Amino acid sequence: MMSTQIEVGRCPPSFVDYLILEPCLFLGILPVVSSCEISGDSVSVKFSRPVDHACEYKLWQEPRGWKIELRKGPEPKTSAYLGWLRLYYLGGAFFKLEYEVAGGFFAKRELAKVYSTLFSNYTALAEGRCRKVDIADRLRSPRVPRVEVEEKPFWETMPVDIKVDLSLALVRAEYLREVELVHASDGLPKAHYLASKVKSGEWMVVVVYPNGREYILISNGVVVGRYLEGAKGTVVQSVFYKLRTSK
């Protein structure tokens, strides 16, 4: 097993948010991946280098990321391939990456060098492509499960006592620097799912619209900061960050 840390701080926040959910967004940045598709809990990946081959992986969604594990690999078995890969969100724009290369000894050693180089340079690779990714379009894709939208999100019913100016990107980044837990859902979550959780501790809610996003800071059930960047519209995603300052 190999492990490394990656950072995507120069990418849009929406890219960071969605990277937690979808392995194809992560893998698509790699030049060795020619295509990636998700169907249910299956991830089909075609690799173009160093040798053309295809693999099918089982997808495991985790509280702070995801893991893919090989279901069906290439033939012959002496060739090398990515056995499994796990992306874990550390907070801010940082992720921990764990992976394992499987296959024949010599081929595996060479492929391990390739992945080690790619993941060491992932920050630079992502910066060159992440701003071209249309997150709203990916969320509208039929393969992304939809959640029925509530008429009114539960945070709209919470008491308000604005104390924090969230219009500054540096202020928002500072709050998101230390994160304990991340929950993301397509559309608006059902009130009963998270309403009780945000009544204690500090939470940052990021609501993603097709042409904007809204930041809502909640402290012990009270909205203490709010900022709309862009324009409201149909909610395509909502991401809840439990801040480490929470008790």
Same domain? For 131 and 218 the reply is: no
Residue 147 covered by a domain? no
Residue from 5, 70, 18 nearest 43 by CA: 70
The pLDDT of residue 134 is: 58
Q: Which residue has 């012990």 as its token pair?
A: 220
Sign of CA dihedral 106, 112, 115, 117: negative
Q: What Å distances lie between residue 116 and 122, 129, 207, CA to CA?
A: 10, 20, 35
Each residue's pLDDT tens digit, 76-124:
665 788 999 999 988 778 899 999 998 877 788 888 998 999 998 998 8
DSSP 79-126: SEEEEEEEEEEEETTEEEEEEEEEESHHHHHHHHHHHHHHHHTHHHHH
The pLDDT of residue 148 is: 41
Look up residue 8 and give its DSSP letter. -
**Residues in the chain, pLDDT under 50:** 142-150, 192, 246-247
Of the residues 139, 162, 194, the one at which a domain ends = 139
The pLDDT of residue 147 is: 39
- 111 in the Ramachandran plot: left (φ > 0), alpha (ψ -120 to 50) or beta? alpha
d(CA 182, CA 62): 10
Residue 148 covered by a domain? no
Residue 172 covered by a domain? yes
| 80-91/53-62 β-pairing | unpaired
The pLDDT of residue 26 is: 92
* Ramachandran angles phi, psi of 177, nearest 5°: -65, -35
DSSP 18-73: HHTT-HHHHHTTSTTEEEEEEETTEEEEEE-SSS-EEEEEEEEEETTEEEEEEEE-
Domain that holds residue 169: 154-243
Same domain? For 234 and 185 the reply is: yes
The count of structural domains within the chain is 2
User: What is the CATH number for 10?
Assistant: 3.30.530.20
The pLDDT of residue 244 is: 81
